[in-house]
Structure 1
Amino acid sequence: MRVMITIQHPGHVHFFRHPIAELRERGHEVHVFARENDVAIELLEAYDIDHEVLAGESGSLVSLAAVQATYETRLLRRARRIDPDVITAIGGVAAAHVSSVLRTKSLVFYDTEHATLITKLGYPFADVICTPSCYREEIGAKQVTYPGYHELAYLHPDRFEPDPAVLESVGLESEESFAVVRLSSWEASHDVGHGGFDEPREIVDRLEDAGLTVLLSAEGEPPADLEAYRFSTAPERMHDLLAFADVVLSEGATTAAEAAVLGTPAVYVNPLSLGYTRELDAEYGLLFEYNGENRHVRGLERAVSTVERPAEEWADRRERLLDDRVDVTNVVVRQLESLARPRATTESTPATNAG
């Protein structure tokens, strides 16, 4: 079959990296198209994934509409030439729109309930919408669920083994206790009007008082007095670092979930709860989410207390999670092959549960 994949965020590269390789190994033709966004193109190049860049970055929500229109127009031209059996993406606005014009199949993966602009623009045009089973919205007959998280498409132990060499690359000793702090820019369409930590300086001081070295990662520019805590590593090495951290504090849900599935306790401070952050908290105790007026204080207290607990406890919790959840790369490949098959044979409907 011929598959088109669209990439509009660095996380999409991670998610589709292994499915792309597997599809090609199985003899399928895969075409990858991307829009410049943060380090998305850098990741595609680091993983040696053939791709074509169709649009640049957007500097604001206003310019995003123009960039998206350019991206969709160019994607449609490529799709007319390729004549794909299926187009897939995360969020899937462009994929769903282009596939509806060409009357080919579209497969959308998503896990972010509060991103209502994306869902309103993409869901009505998609053929199949594939979500984790913890996703809290009922989409209807188009929805396919699976027992997993996006992060298990690339951080499942069958797909990823952390490299301890990353520690030396950021100036850490092998036995040094450290925390990763991730600050968001709050510029995404679904982040407008929200915020996380009240005072980043207080986070650093409290973690250092607890004996932790602090590594700061920030979208955009961090506060000037915290610039010295910012670390530099290749974007594809970030997951290695999360795996060896003692604790991760994040305003972003993806980073918190990545740490959690790697067995690193994660504190997620953000007023927006998601199906997967709630499940990782309530079911597995690997992620602790805090929102509301006291989210900063409560989250910081939790971060300090996690470091005092034995490492074996987090490893045991991760093992229980892995026993319950699937390698999501297998879900992606299976769904693509299932959805594309009717074009070549007879019309059928994909299963309602991919677990």
Structure 2
Amino acid sequence: MTLSNKNPDSLVAIRSQLEQWAQELGFQQVGITGIDLAQHEGYLQKWLDAGYQGDMHYMTRHGLKRARPAELIPGTCTVLTLRMDYFPESAADPEVLLTQSDRAYISRYALGRDYHKLMRQRLARLAKRIEAELGSGQYRAFVDSAPVLERALAEQAGMGWIAKNTMLINERAGSWFFLGEIYTDIPFNTDAPKTEKHCGSCTACLDICPTQAFVAPHVLDARKCISYLTIEHPGSIDPALRPLMGNRIYGCDDCQLVCPWNKFSQPTHEPDFAPRHNLDNETLAQLFAWTDHDFETRLQGSPIRRIGYERWLRNIAIALGNATKTIEVIDALSKRRDHPSPLVREHVAWALAQHADQV
């Protein structure tokens, strides 16, 4: 049976079952939207023209394909977007951790196993179930693996609104969740988008940003964002920004931690997102002592592994430079003073200089 003569009633029936199927696979919500992202395309181009993407050259290379799903996957007419909560209930209190300068802060999403593979496999299973039910159709699943405007698609699918901090906020779930997409040529009925942004006059997320990376509400200059600096940026970090990074060695959650809507968020029940190797409460000195082998083996299956050992040491060196001066901190830095990497040596020297005048 072809798509052209597929009974529309069968699509309605499938839609009514999608929520159940998605929940069985560990997702908390599913929405469906069309592929017209024209209202977001102009914003994307303006953002790229301003250079806010920094060293993320793939953003420029893909251009407006990100806002045109049918150019990425020809034949696509609808997009299924799914939400999976990730906040780990068992992790150390993030707000307390940020006040402990000798400890490493890692973004809550990266404490456990890499979500990319886990979600993509489950999206593929969902797509296969739909295909088996309908007997036709094409499907492609994405989780940060292609030029996709995931937050715009989710907003249009009625799953929330894009907030002033550029995160997607769901009024019943906050923003501590991952998004994944299934592009398909199946003409499902679409869900109504959110027409109102419920941030009101609140600017807590903009005000709290350690590096003041928000140029304006809804506009993030990635070049100043700690998540970008610690993950995407490959080279030396601007010395003016280093003191502002505190103990954040991989990502930053500040704008989510202060968001009032996150009082509605729910902790994850996904075992793979639970903290591993004490990454939610480890000292900077201990992590800085890891060898290249330690980094590769202990972070096997972790999203952190993608930045590589050199950036790992760079990031921790900055955090150690921001830490309260102790014998442990100075000793840890001194042991890396002559590291083979010029990048690591530069940041270690900076860190030691921060402590030079302290009593």
Q: Whose strand proportion is higher, 1 or 2?
A: 1
* TM-score (normalised: structure 2): 0.24
Structure with higher Rg: it is 2
* TM-score (normalised: structure 1): 0.24
